[in-house]
Amino acid sequence: MAGGLMALLDDVAALAKLAAASVDDIGAAAGRASTKAAGVVIDDAAVTPRYVQGFDPSRELTVIRKIAVGSLRNKIVFILPAALLLSQYAEWLLAPILMLGGTYLAFEGAEKLWEKFGPGDHHGPAEPVAADGGADHEKTMVSGAIRTDFILSAEIMVIALKEVTDEPFVSRALILAVVAVAITALVYGAVGLIVKMDDIGLHLAKKSSAVAQKVGRGLVVGMPIFLTVLANIGIVAMLWVGGHILLVNADELGWHWPYETVHHWEKDAGGGAVGWIVNTASSAVIGIVVGAIVVAVMHLIPRKKH
């Protein structure tokens, strides 16, 4: 009897170890998958703060929370099941879908460059600013942010999925769920902190400590500059990530020479940080070229016809 009990306890301990190992494996795989999507995550974090500019400070975190909930719903309810079905029954579609997403990111980046440097009036507001539209305006802004997030979330989830296609179906689902929750918390936690930094600065500026006052004034003065820099980083991220997605997935679809050429340049540069810069710059150039073509189709040709 005691021997049977000990054997049972051994079996339970073995199952517990196996479960713990599975959790560790899922966590590690989710970490790898999230890292691969880092470029799109940077873009997501850079794009979102513009949707709360102009709102009353008391509403900023509420708006971000609503966008975060919509983003998580996008990932869990719509994108995750679709991604799992594709990975199970039509894995060959993942590369073309990623290329469509890469083209969209390249277009977004190139269009923002066109808005900055192309002909036309550049003195108007470049970012959506909240007007006195009350609840209806807030709902419109949140809906727009969630629609934009859907594209970026789809890219993040498909990039993550491509890293775990060899995992069993249930593990894939759990890994993608972990990625969805972790990425959403990371992006919108960072966005919430960013948009409230000026309020934190104002609070510190009222303190009696000279150091706190100096830090507070620095935050108040520096945050607009930081947001501008972040917006520019977002543009660069769109072009770089979009171009890299196109480069890698074109290679997977059989068009090898662009990827092989960039890889050859990277090796000639000696690899390491310099090689990474060469690869990133090449991806950004591809993003600019592809994005410019789409911008021309979307904007210049219709204008000529008009």
Specify the pLDDT at position 40: 61
Instruction: Please state, in angstroms and rounded to a whole number, the distance separating the CA atoms of residues 278 and 268.
Output: 10
Lowest mean pLDDT among 8-17, 87-96, 117-126: 8-17
pLDDT digits (tens, 9 = 90+) for 43-101: 666 666 666 666 677 778 888 899 999 999 999 999 999 988 988 888 888 889 889 88
The b/e string for 68-99 (b: 16+ C-beta within 10 A; e otherwise) is: bebbbbbbbeebbeebbebbeeeeeebbebbb
The count of other CB atoms within 10 Å of the CB of residue 302 is 9
> Can you list the alpha helix ranges (DSSP code H) found in 90-209?
94-117, 134-162, 169-205
Specify the pLDDT at position 69: 93
Question: What's the pLDDT band for 213 if we cut at 50, 70, 90?
Answer: confident
Average pLDDT over every residue of 18-23: 41
Instruction: Please state, in angstroms and rounded to a whole number, the distance separating the CA atoms of residues 143 and 145.
Output: 5
